[in-house]
Amino acid sequence: MPIDPDQFARQLVHGMPDALIYADAAGLIQVWNAGAERLFGFTAQDAIGQSLDIIIPPNIQGRHWAGYHQTMQTGATRYGNGEVLSVPALHKSGARLSVEFTIVPFTGDDGRMTGIAAIMRDGTARFEEMRALRKKLAEAAATPPT
């Protein structure tokens, strides 16, 4: 029996364990699934209609928005081919996270960008582990042999 594509899409977005966020061309959140609620602590009601700034640390907002607006204007992104990106993010509590994500650019019938969806997961533990390993390597390299 064939599956209804609309029902499939709704169930996939709602039920997937990863965060799925869609922001329109202005950077306003339009889709925020249960995975995003778990990852970032904001409910869909809190997040929908808000700027992506609710999850972007202030020190990288300028760089984020420069790239986002350029992508919206040109339709070109170097991240749309399935590359996994890692960036810092913010939880509702103010705690910093490291998130790993891929993006899917969306275009209208005229070919112009309408927004971007991101599928995200928490990479904080892996990030902290790698940082600790790099620190140990640096310490070992700086210690003279005995």
CB atoms near residue 74 (< 10 Å) = 9
With a CB cutoff of 8 Å and minimum separation 6, the contacts of 8 are none
Which residues have CB under 8 Å from 42's CB, separation 6+?
32, 36, 54, 55, 92
- Span 108-119, pLDDT tens digits: 999 899 999 999
Structural domains in the chain? 5-142 (3.30.450.20)
pLDDT along the chain (146 residues), means of 10: 88 90 97 97 97 97 94 82 86 94 91 93 75 73 74
